[in-house]
Structure 1
Amino acid sequence: MASAAEERRQQVLRAIVADYIATQEPVGSKALLDRHRFDVSSATIRNDMAALEAEGYISQQHASSGRLPTQKGYRLFVDSLSDIKPLSDAERRTILTFLEDGVNLEDVLHRSAQLLSQFTRQTAIVQLPNLRASHVKHCEVVSLTPTRLLLVLITDTGRVDQRHVELDHTCEADHIMVLRDLLNQALDGKTLADAAGSLAAITHPDPEVTSHLSRCVTVLIETLVEPPNDRLILAGQSHLIRINPHDLPTILQALEEQVIILKLLASIQDLDQVSVLIGDETRDDQLRCTSVVATGYGSPGAPLGGLGVVGPTYMDYSGTMSKVYAVAHYVSRVLSEMQT
């Protein structure tokens, strides 16, 4: 059991973190006593702050300045949060109404990014579902010109993906239906990766159909793996201006390259828990001065991706965690309704 002195020091740390998040100014002992009800002397508070500094939870820029939370201090603060700020009824209605107006999966996810950025005043990051993990619901074949087809793949997650196919010769109208039936027989209910073998094995007695089919199958198999730069939605990058200008270019580069963010989101897909990575916990130098708050969306046992925010380490953790969880919850709900 923690002693009274240890409990008070934790309270002092929470107060320092809360005050620094609110003001972005170093916090001194006098300010703590003025803003919070500590029934002890200023000397006791100074001793507590000295102990917290010795343990690495806070730091001091100058001998006469107040204290700043360290990454270790933020971590203890986040881990000690016993309650998350609840959203108001108006906020919940706003989220649900805005998301329900989405016309398809990608529109809903773009809307979720906008909401997260507006609600948290941070940069929102939303991972598109991995097409390789989705099951094909239908493949539509559309004739654009006599020698050009459009393949439209619709997955069980609601994602729509398009592929253009250039043909060697004219495709007759009656061949379009044959191609559609053959492709759907091979693709229906399978992931694209699992369907590769079925696609490659398709045959047809008509050599003209076989020629068109071969072109379609080649395009599908060659494009099964999605390029990373097509899998992340960003919103609110302008909020990053609050971060130290020296660190800003590397953060923007990480967001632009996407690989680092996608790797983080891929590891944070628990639908029942909001994860918080602070500074070095992101395991990437480009994000060492940021915090990432994220969770998964989808259905239990079948997450579709991750969503969250990137911001400075002095963000409002309780409020941000609440908003990230709420948006993910309603995104999952809306997408589930779309699939039924």
Structure 2
Amino acid sequence: MGSADDRRFEVLRAIVADFVSTKEPIGSKSLVERHNLGVSSATIRNDMAVLEAEGYIAQPHTSSGRVPTEKGYREFVDRLDHVKPMSSPERKAILSFLESGVDLDDVLRRSVRLLAQLTRQVAVVQYPTLSSSTVRHVEVVALSPARLLLVVITDSGRVDQRIVELGDAIDEHQLGQLRDLLGKALDGKKMAAASVAVADLASQLDGTGGLGDAVGRSATVLLESLVEHREERLLTGGTANLTSNTADFGGSLRSVLEALEEQVVVLKLLAAKQEAGKVTVRIGHEAQVASGTEQMAGTSVVSTTYGTMDTVYGGMGVLGPTRMDYPGTMASVAAVALYIGEVLGTR
């Protein structure tokens, strides 16, 4: 790329940085005063004219400065050499805060709260998808001779508890047999394979040593545990942050809030063409296309996946206006995702 193109990108970068910081249209005079671009004000005005003609910046009002367009933000994000890593104290603080979570729910709640504070945007995190999870352990606890508690624990830290009402009472020996049967059938299996194993158990009641009633009823309850719980797939935090940027949404803030409330719109964004370990930025109409709704047209979504080296548990990220601190937001999303995976992967 020629020097003129490189210089114009530096002008664009300066306009993006100043507009994100000030919310005010940027003129050539302020660029000269704030940035050491090494050229005259006249050259900067010419560069701004070229950038405007190519659709990277726009003039919202006559005689005003320029603001970045979606195309301008896209060019800026695409040409970021790297995402600036967070400092060592910042990383330690994030890890310490997440490690203090007592269980999966607490870790995820802490994650959205932390990410919302770091970015001053709306943070979203998807519960670990069961389809990618493995059963780590199945525990059977007798609440009474005819009432059991089944506990399914996955490798992502998800814990599902279900009550089984038995038709016939069982003793301690039979309880141990049932625990062994379910453990051998499910432990270490992916959810799809675990569902098949449970169904097989239920169809082979004659070979369960008088435990037919307990196995059959337990299998029925377990099958309910091994499917996705759509109503709890997403956690959000920092929704109030949107109100401080109302003008950035051009009057469409209500539709954005409605989309967040519906959740399925955001889930589509987190699931759409997400490459494991990579931070993805969807700006304006890119977010609209990925979500399948016009409600997202005025937003930007910075997202990634979290999990272990071998398994993706789910997606997470932040949602806000297109006037966003992209480098800082991308760094925060990447860091929090990394440490969620580390915390859950070691439990």
TM-score, length basis structure 1: 0.91
8 Å contact kept, 1:271–1:300:
no
Structure-1 residue corresponding to 2:324:
315
Is 2:338 aligned against 1:329?
yes
Structure-2 residue corresponding to 1:262:
267
Is 2:163 aligned against 1:164?
yes
8 Å contact kept, 1:228–1:258:
no
Tell which deviates more after alignment, 282-291 or 163-172. 163-172
How far does residue 172 in structure 1 lie from its aligned partner after superposition?
Answer: 4.5
CA separation of 1:124 and 1:268: change in aligned 2, threshold 3 A? farther
Structure-1 residue corresponding to 2:213:
211
How far does residue 298 in structure 1 lie from its aligned partner after superposition?
Answer: 1.6
CA separation of 1:161 and 1:245: change in aligned 2, threshold 3 A? farther
How far does residue 116 in structure 1 lie from its aligned partner after superposition?
Answer: 1.0
8 Å contact kept, 1:27–1:67:
yes
Tell which deviates more after alignment, 267-276 or 130-139. 267-276
Task: Work out the CA distance in 2 between the residues paired with 1:36 and 1:205.
Answer: 79
SS in 2 for 1:201: helix
Letter in 2 for 1:253: E
CA separation of 1:206 and 1:181: change in aligned 2, threshold 3 A? closer
Task: Work out the CA distance in 1 between the residues paired with 2:7 and 2:210.
Answer: 81
Q: Deviations over 1:20-55 (max 9, x none)?
A: 100111111222222122343333322222221111
Task: Work out the CA distance in 2 between the residues paired with 1:63 and 1:218.
Answer: 68
Tell which deviates more after alignment, 239-248 or 154-163. 239-248
Structure-1 residue corresponding to 2:299:
290
How far does residue 164 in structure 1 lie from its aligned partner after superposition?
Answer: 2.7
Question: How do 1:168-187 and structure 2 match up within 5 A?
Answer: 168-187=167-186
Tell which deviates more after alignment, 285-294 or 202-211. 202-211
CA separation of 1:18 and 1:115: change in aligned 2, threshold 3 A? same
What's the % identity of the aligned pairs? Answer: 54
Q: Which runs of 5+ in 2 are unaligned?
A: none
Letter in 2 for 1:194: A
CA separation of 1:170 and 1:299: change in aligned 2, threshold 3 A? same
CA separation of 1:304 and 1:9: change in aligned 2, threshold 3 A? same
Letter in 1 for 2:103: N
Task: Work out the CA distance in 1 between the residues paired with 2:38 and 2:86.
Answer: 32
How far does residue 268 in structure 1 lie from its aligned partner after superposition?
Answer: 5.8
CA separation of 1:148 and 1:248: change in aligned 2, threshold 3 A? farther
Q: Deviations over 1:40-85 (max 9, x none)?
A: 3333322222221111111112221111111110000111112433
Task: Work out the CA distance in 1 between the residues paired with 2:295 and 2:236.
Answer: 17
Task: Work out the CA distance in 2 between the residues paired with 1:305 and 1:324.
Answer: 13
SS in 1 for 2:346: helix
SS in 2 for 1:190: coil
Letter in 1 for 2:99: E
Task: Work out the CA distance in 2 between the residues paired with 1:52 and 1:300.
Answer: 42
Q: Which runs of 5+ in 1 are unaligned?
A: none
Letter in 2 for 1:261: V
CA separation of 1:68 and 1:140: change in aligned 2, threshold 3 A? same
CA separation of 1:237 and 1:263: change in aligned 2, threshold 3 A? same
Task: Work out the CA distance in 2 between the residues paired with 1:297 and 1:129.
Answer: 9
Structure-1 residue corresponding to 2:280:
275
How far does residue 170 in structure 1 lie from its aligned partner after superposition?
Answer: 4.3
Task: Work out the CA distance in 2 between the residues paired with 1:334 and 1:209.
Answer: 39
8 Å contact kept, 2:155–2:345:
no
Question: How do 1:106-185 and structure 2 match up within 5 A?
Answer: 106-145=105-144, 147-185=146-184
TM-score, length basis structure 2: 0.89
CA separation of 1:191 and 1:54: change in aligned 2, threshold 3 A? same
How far does residue 133 in structure 1 lie from its aligned partner after superposition?
Answer: 2.0
CA separation of 1:9 and 1:218: change in aligned 2, threshold 3 A? same
Q: Deviations over 1:132-156 (max 9, x none)?
A: 3211121112234554432110112
Letter in 1 for 2:29: K
1:225 aligned to which of 224, 227, 244? 227
1:247 aligned to which of 241, 249, 252? 252
CA separation of 1:87 and 1:98: change in aligned 2, threshold 3 A? same
How far does residue 17 in structure 1 lie from its aligned partner after superposition?
Answer: 0.7
Tell which deviates more after alignment, 136-145 or 273-282. 136-145
Paired residues, number: 337
How far does residue 307 in structure 1 lie from its aligned partner after superposition?
Answer: 1.8
Letter in 2 for 1:273: K
Task: Work out the CA distance in 1 between the residues paired with 2:208 and 2:54.
Answer: 77
Task: Work out the CA distance in 2 between the residues paired with 1:93 and 1:205.
Answer: 53
Tell which deviates more after alignment, 110-119 or 144-153. 144-153
CA RMSD, Structure 1 to Structure 2 (Å): 2.2
Task: Work out the CA distance in 2 between the residues paired with 1:157 and 1:86.
Answer: 26
